[in-house]
Structure formats: structure tokens, C-alpha cells
Structure 1
Amino acid sequence: MKNYLMHINGLSVGENLKTQDVTNPATNEIVGTVPVGGEDEANQAIDAAHDAFGEWSNLTAYDRAVYLKRFHELMLENQEDLARTMTIEMGKPINESRGEVKYAASFIEWFAEEAKRVYGETIPTHVSGKRLQVWKKPIGVVAAITPWNFPAAMLTRKMGPALAAGCTIVIKPSSESPLTAMKLMELCEEAGFPKGVINLVTGSSSKIAKAVMESEKVRKVTFTGSTEVGKILIKQSADTVKNLSLELGGHAPLIVLDDANVDVAVKGVMASKFRNAGQTCICANRVYVQSGVYDEFVEKFAKAVNELKVGNGEDESVDVGPLINKAGLEKVNHHVQDAIDKGASIVTGGEASTTDGGVFFTPTVIGDADPSMVMMQEETFGPVAPVQKVETQDEAIALANDTPYGLAAYVFTESVGRGTRVIEQLNFGIVGWNEGAPSAAQVPFGGMKESGIGREGGHDGIEAFLETQYVAIGME
């Protein structure tokens, strides 16, 4: 077990503070401790980032890219250490953790290159003797608040564009899985980033967020988490008119039309649903299958689910690890029991386990689902897939859109015409068409409606950390 420290202004901070244990959800063993910081530590980090902003933002894009590329190299060199840290602190199977480290590193590589592609404009003038230009400038100090379920990728998807744009940053990782972020901070130190450019604080979310939201020095907050917390941040941002990027809750529908390749659909839902034990914001939460292929789909889906191995993520052969904590297990149990009480059937799975102190739920397929069930209205965040039979394409679209969320959706059909028409009617920021794993560093990630504001990744990702400045130049 290691006692980790915060990183503020190039120094390790928090030796004399109370500590918080980080436990492995597969074993309930303590795997590390972190300091319990609060407003004082947050303000120290904000001040450090503010003081470092001038020098960092004045570097050329090429100079900033050098730091980012070195950080990228170090992430890949330390992939195994990062992956094992991730697995023991939040339960993700080791092979998924290795994949996440590569995915996380890809954001640093992508934005190291995007730093060189921040373009302004020269606009044709309407009056002789003037020149009209648009400049792009870094927004300032950024606060990044990240979730527990992707402790590397959700961080680098924010760090990469912020640093590339010329911003400095204060990071607040989840208290459930802060160790991966702290390992990444150690690599940033090794990469040689100037002091104050990247800072990390751990501890009380409410106290740290209070300091961030009240500070006039913090010009942007980028947050991934629940819609409920996102709404609070929107309200708190009003007093200082902060720029916000919010990637919030999802409740993704997956539609299988009767002309779909059922084998492709099963492969797609397996890739989407059971990654990280169903604890992802874009995983399929509601499966709508047209009646013509419903029985075949459910049979093949259940067979594939039965082959998944559940256990400690450190085991190379495990496919599905634990849930993050007992509260997560209780939520999954409640959703499954509610569905059974309302007439659903358990096709396979449906069992909770706290074996050896861990928090596990068997991968589960629920048949005969309907809209009255809680799991069809709320995100379960567990390895449970409810399947509802639908008769028509229009019925599937209506059910899919009947939610305040609009992050991700999935459609399986072999018809280009049907696929195009369905997707045109779906109100979701991300759509996988015959594809269950749509994420990549080079594409925009974000949702519609109550699933958030803004986009991360792709060329859109760096724009979120830039201000547009118009300059009128008199030439006479």
C-alpha cells in the first residue's frame, strides 16, 4: 500500500492532512491512501495555475507539443503500472485497463498535434484602410473534475486539449479512484512540465468545488459526472460566468431492426453493455428488438452473456469485474427486482455476490421488459441488459427518444436507407450504427438535452479551451 500526496506548484503536498483510504472493490482491501484536502489546498492549486498561465500560454504550440509528446511516451512506457493501479483501485479487468491506458494516451498524442492547428482568420474588410482578424487565445485556468469509471481516459481527454491550447489546469479526481490520476501526475513531473502548469488536489468534493466555483481566477470548468451534479455546477457558475463543458448522464438505447445481422447485433451489444461491468456512460441501457428477430436475438445474446467470466480484475481471464461499491450493487439489485415485480423474466444471470469481500453482479439479460420498469427509465450502471420487444421502427424510435438524456444510441440494420432515417430522428450526440464501441480520440464526444454541454475529443475538443478575439486594425 502506498500513501500518495497531492501535486501543487511542482511540489508534493498533504503530508500532515488526514487521509482517505482507497479500496479494491474486488477484495475490499485498502490499496492506497490520499490526503483529504479542502478549500485551502484548492486555492493553493488555483493560485499556482494562475501564476503559471502567463509563461505557459506564451510558449509556442510546438513547444507545448514537445511536453505532451514526452508525456505520451511515458504513459506507454508505464502502461502496465498504470493499468494495474487502475484495476486494483476500481476493479476494471486488467485487459480493459491496458486498453484504457492506450486510449488515454491517444488523447495526449492527438492534442499534441492539434496544438499546431489552432487557426485564426482574416476577414475581407468592408471599409478601405481596415484589416479584420480573428485571433484564438487560451481561456485561462481550467478546473477538471473527473469520474471514477475511466480514471485515465476521462482525465487525459480534458488535460490534452487544455494544455495544448495554452491553459493551465487544476485536477480533482474521483475519491473512489484517485490513484491512477496521481500516477499520471508523477509522469507529468517526469515529462518536465513547468511548475504550476498541472496541479492535482484530492479530498472533499464539495469543499474543493466550492473554491473552484467561487474563484474568479478559474475561467473554465470541465466536468464528467451525473446530471444532478452538473446542474448544480451550472447554477454555481453564474456568479463568475464560468465557461462550462459538461459530460453528464446517459441512458443509451440500442435498437435492433428486423433486417439486422443478429450476430453483428449481439457482438455490438456485448461490446457496449458489459465493458467495465456496465459502468459506462455510453453503454446500452435499453435494448429494443423488433419482433421478427426478438427470439433469435435473445437466445444468442443470452448464450454470449453466459460465457463471460466474472471475478477479480487482476485475473487475466476475467471479462467482468466488480461494481465500484455496495451502493452500486444495491442500485442494480433494486432495478432487477423492480423489473421482476412488474413482469419481466430473467433470461440469464440476476445474482449478486459479495464473495471474498468483493461487490459482484452476474451479467444479466432481462426479457419481456417494458417502459414501466425503473431500469427502462433510469441508468442502471451495472451488467444488466433489459430487452423489450417492439413491432415497428417508429415504435423503437419513440421509445428510444423518450428520455431527458441524449448521450449515446445504437442502431443495427443492414439497410442504408433505414439506418439513415432512424439516426436522423434520434436525439443523441453519439450514434453507433452496427457498432458497439464508437469512441476514439479523433471524434467529438458529448450529448444532447440533459446529457451535457459541449464536446470533447476531435478538433472540437480544443475549441472548448479557446477564446475567440476579434481585432479591427486601422491601417491609415
Structure 2
Amino acid sequence: MTSEISTLERYQLFIDGHAVDSVSGATFDSLNPYTGMPWARVSDGTPDDIDLAVAAARRAFDGGWRQMPGWRRAAVLRAVGDGIAKNSERLARLEVNDNGKLLREMRAQLEALPEYYYYFAGLADKIEGRTVPQINPSRYFGFTVREPVGVVGAITPWNSPLLLLTFKLAPLLAAGNTCVVKPSEHSPASTLAFAQVLSEAGLPDGVFNAVSGWNRATGEALASHPGIDKIAFTGSTATGIKVAQAAMNNVNKATLELGGKSAQVVFEDADIDAAVNGIMSGVFAATGQTCMAGSRLIVQDAVHDTVIERLARRAADIRLGDPNDPETEMGPLANPPQFEKVTGYFSIAEEEGASFACGGAPAEDLGSYFVKPTVITNLKRDSRLIREEVFGPVLSVLSFSTEEEAVELANDTRYGLAGAVWTENVHRAHRVAGQIRAGSVWINDYRVVGPGMPFGGFKDSGVGRENGVDAIDEYLETKSIYVELTGQTRDPFQMG
């Protein structure tokens, strides 16, 4: 073993309140996408470890967390938020090491995360049922109660591990559930480190468990586990379908936040400078590796050339480099498979006869997994670059002439996660936003999220909602209770 390997940081599984090695003792190395070298050694969990984690979560659920008064769960959630604030710099740097995102972006993301736990702390003691009028009110009183679903299996992606875990964890804890998390094999470190933050905040042992694993069988074991009551998944649509099928085999609930090919519609009366800024943010921030990326530009003919010229000039000037450098504007792609996928789409574009306004190649002078910010024009509406999620810094462009055509193009996709409308006409803004079939639509902005606004997709972009009051409902069951009021329930087989 080399001296470099011997200095790798070490991360273990977290089960029943303790950091532990996997049952097998096996490990795998996590790759820093900027250096192209391993930086951490991680316990390689197996289905046996999933069994242990699910059992711990079940004990914690039955042992008191579900019965804990909402105000006490709220106090723990507030402490979690405080713990994140205290540890935000360390957690942000772990995510940079694992997925290559900019440190300044991860700092901002981690600094915002406490607000999600504070928000759901405010809901934890407000989970209420209702009384229901009965057909025979002199005989029966009826009411409902809301109860936690149980043990939740959460499967999270590599692009924003703690943010997308928080979308699940904050509401499920507020509702009284326990969980087992399987982070992506490409970026497990921040989740495993976060487990200690949760423990120090006073979360009881077994309420949160995390099992990393390189082999796909680990995630499959969680999705299909008979001891799980619900699955919460963020990732690709293809994988999400398999996760949902595994959950359904156990008649389990599933919340799925899946892929997107989100449209940014720019009308000729838009503030072009603002629109260009929003488009840049929508597709080039986070190296384009975000489910809500506004990667499909639909721009009106009259301003098409102006918008493309400005975008190409701006994109070509984006500063690529070390994600820890505050001057860097875009880091590398997060892992080798993603690099191969994105660069493969450049060849597809050439085969389809498209044109590159800028980019369209790896940034070879930087090595590792860098690609140039790319704007692709002269595409047909059935092009793979228009239809498929690239998940990289690649913008695909179509043009339109009428409002009706713009709406048709925006909705001509199997996805429906997000979208944007750029126009100074307030009537058109509301009219078009109302017609776009997507879970989130911004008017004259992009990529704005917060704890109080529901997030999720239409069509192949998912099932259910994260964030907002809607999210806590995803982790609750409704029970109906009938009370007989007269004490005169008779034997149904006695006549007269």
C-alpha cells in the first residue's frame, strides 16, 4: 500500500448510533474528481449491513421516537440545524472532495440547510387530525389521526448529497419516522460524517442509520427490504422506476424525485441581460449536474441570434479550475462515468448535424474530468440532445415564433420537473407559466428553492413532493377512528 493510500481519510457506516465497519470488513476508495485520485476510504456495506440498519431503525421507531411529543422532536430538529451551522465548513469541504462542486457553492448550500430543519421543527408539533361528520351523528363520533409511516429507506444521489438528503430527512423526522440512508457510492463521505452531527444534536440511537456501498446490491437490498415502510429516492428516472417496482413488491409507498429536461422559454420582450444570467445559472452552475437544470432553451426567433451570441461569449469565458479556489466558476464533472456520458453526447450532436456555438469538447488542458461549457444549436425537436437528460454543462437550443408554439415545445418532453418563462409582459408570464407542465416554474428567474415551497415533478420527473407542508404529508398515514356513543351495540344475529 502506498504512502498516499495510507493517508486516506476513513469513513465508516453508521448503525444504531455508532460508526462501524461493514460486516464483511470490505472498503472502497472515494475519488476526488479534481485531482483524479482517491482521497477517502469508505466502508463497503452489503445487504447484511442493510438488515442490521433496518432492524435498528425499527427498534428506534417502536421504542419511543414515534411516541415522542412533537415539541420534543422539534427541539431535536432545531439542534440539528444548529449543528449543521457549526459544522458547515467541514461538511462543505467534504462535498467538494467527493463531487468536485465549487467550495463557495457548497458553503452557501450548507449555510442554508439549517433553515430546512428549523422549518420542519415548526411543523413537528402541528400534525393534527380532524373530526368527520357521520351519517348517524347521534350514534357515532368519527375522527382521524395522523401517524408516521414507519421506517423510511432513503437513497440519495452524488450531486448534492446533504441538500437532497435534507429534503427527505427533515420532514420524515418531524413526522416521527426513522430511516436508513444509502448515499451514492460516488459521494458518501458527507452523509457518513453528518451522522455524527445528528447524534451530537440529540437524535436517539437508531433513528438515523447510513450504509454506504459500492455494489448496486446494497441499494437494491434497501429498496426491496421487507422491513421498510416507505422509500424516498432521488436519481435518474430509469433507476427510480426500478426502485418503485421494488417498493411496490412490498406494497410500500415511494416518493421519487427523478430526472428533468427543463425548458427556459425566452420571449422577444424579455430583459435579455436577465435572461442570459438566468440561463447561465440554470445550466452551467454546479457544472450542470442538477436535476432542475434549465438545459433546454426555447427562444423566440426575433432574439435568437442575440441570445445565443451572448450566451456563447459568456460561456466561453467561464473560469474552470480548482473548486476550492474562490476565483473558479465551474469545476469538473463528478466522476468518470458522468464524464464519459457527457462527452458521448458531443459525438451524438455531431452525428445529428448540430452546431456548437461554444464548447463541445473536454477541457484537456485541465486534465481530470473537465468539459467546456457547451451551447448546441441547429437541433431538431426529436434530437437526443433535446429529448434526453445530459446532466452536464450542455445547453440545447430550439427556436419558436408564436406563444402557442413555445408552450408546445416546452411541454414536448417526457419530463416535467421545472421550467422558466422570460418576458416583461405580466399577462403572458402568468398565462405561459400556467400552461407549462412542470412541478416548479420560475418567472424571470431560475434555480430558486426553499424549505417552504414544494418541489417535485410531473410525468417522468417523479412522484410526490419534497419541501413545504406537502412534504410532511408524504411521511404520514391517516387513520380513521369511530366511537359508538350509545353503548347499545346489539348482536347482529338476534332478531327483534
Q: TM-score surpassing 0.5? A: yes
User: Structure 2: how far apart are the matches of 1:340 and 1:216?
Assistant: 47
More moved, 170-179 vs 405-414: 405-414
Identity %: 36
Contact kept, 8 Å, 2:182 with 2:211, in 1: the verdict is yes
**SS of match in other structure, 1:302:** helix
Tell me which residue corresponds to 1:98.
107
Tell me which residue corresponds to 2:12.
5
Tell me which residue corresponds to 2:65.
56
1:29 aligns with 2:37: yes
Contact kept, 8 Å, 2:220 with 2:243, in 1: the verdict is no
Contact kept, 8 Å, 1:130 with 1:473, in 2: the verdict is yes
Tell me which residue corresponds to 1:223.
233
Q: Deviations over 1:85-114 (max 9, x none)?
A: 111110001111112212333222211111
What are the equivalent positions in structure 2 for 1:359-398 lying under 5 Å apart?
A: 359-398=369-408
Structure number with greater Rg is 2
What are the equivalent positions in structure 2 for 1:114-153 lying under 5 Å apart?
A: 114-127=123-136, 128-153=138-163
Q: Deviations over 1:43-99 (max 9, x none)?
A: 000000001102100101110111111111010111111111111110001111112
Q: Deviations over 1:92-137 (max 9, x none)?
A: 0111111221233322221111112212111233321322111000
Q: CA deviation at 1:211?
A: 2.9
Distance 1:347 1:356, change over 3 A: closer
What are the equivalent positions in structure 2 for 1:283-294 lying under 5 Å apart?
A: 283-294=293-304
Quick one: which amino acid aligns to residue 11 of structure 1? H
Quick one: which amino acid aligns to residue 112 of structure 2? Y
Match of residue 47, structure 1, among 48, 52, 55: 55
Q: CA deviation at 1:468?
A: 0.5
Quick one: which amino acid aligns to residue 268 of structure 2? D
More moved, 112-121 vs 323-332: 323-332
Tell me which residue corresponds to 1:194.
204
Give the gaps of 5 or more residues in structure 1: none
Runs of 4+ in 1 over 6 A off after TM superposition: none
What are the equivalent positions in structure 2 for 1:417-456 lying under 5 Å apart?
A: 417-456=427-466
Equivalenced residues, count:
476
More moved, 418-427 vs 351-360: 351-360
Match of residue 332, structure 1, among 326, 335, 342: 342
User: Structure 2: how far apart are the matches of 1:396 and 1:329?
Assistant: 32
Contact kept, 8 Å, 1:104 with 1:157, in 2: the verdict is no
Contact kept, 8 Å, 2:149 with 2:230, in 1: the verdict is yes
1:411 aligns with 2:421: yes
More moved, 121-130 vs 409-418: 121-130
Q: CA deviation at 1:34?
A: 0.9
Q: CA deviation at 1:38?
A: 0.8
User: Structure 2: how far apart are the matches of 1:374 and 1:75?
Assistant: 41
Distance 1:104 1:8, change over 3 A: same
**SS of match in other structure, 1:251:** coil
Q: CA deviation at 1:210?
A: 3.6
Match of residue 87, structure 1, among 87, 93, 96: 96
More moved, 435-444 vs 303-312: 303-312
Give the gaps of 5 or more residues in structure 2: 1-7, 487-496
Tell me which residue corresponds to 1:207.
217
More moved, 388-397 vs 218-227: 388-397
**SS of match in other structure, 2:158:** coil
Match of residue 81, structure 2, among 55, 68, 72: 72
Contact kept, 8 Å, 2:284 with 2:393, in 1: the verdict is yes
Give TM-score scaled by structure 1 length: 0.97
Q: CA deviation at 1:470?
A: 0.9
Quick one: which amino acid aligns to residue 60 of structure 2? A
Contact kept, 8 Å, 2:81 with 2:113, in 1: the verdict is no
More moved, 413-422 vs 205-214: 205-214
Contact kept, 8 Å, 2:101 with 2:323, in 1: the verdict is yes
The alignment yields a C-alpha RMSD, in angstroms, of: 1.5
Q: Deviations over 1:365-388 (max 9, x none)?
A: 223332243211111111111222
Q: Deviations over 1:122-177 (max 9, x none)?
A: 12333213221110000000010000001110011111111110001101000000
Give TM-score scaled by structure 2 length: 0.93
User: Structure 1: how far apart are the matches of 2:79 and 2:362?
Assistant: 44
What are the equivalent positions in structure 2 for 1:200-349 lying under 5 Å apart?
A: 200-204=210-214, 206-349=216-359
User: Structure 2: how far apart are the matches of 1:417 and 1:148?
Assistant: 39
Q: CA deviation at 1:327?
A: 2.4
Distance 1:205 1:115, change over 3 A: farther
Contact kept, 8 Å, 2:259 with 2:291, in 1: the verdict is yes
User: Structure 1: how far apart are the matches of 2:350 and 2:440?
Assistant: 31
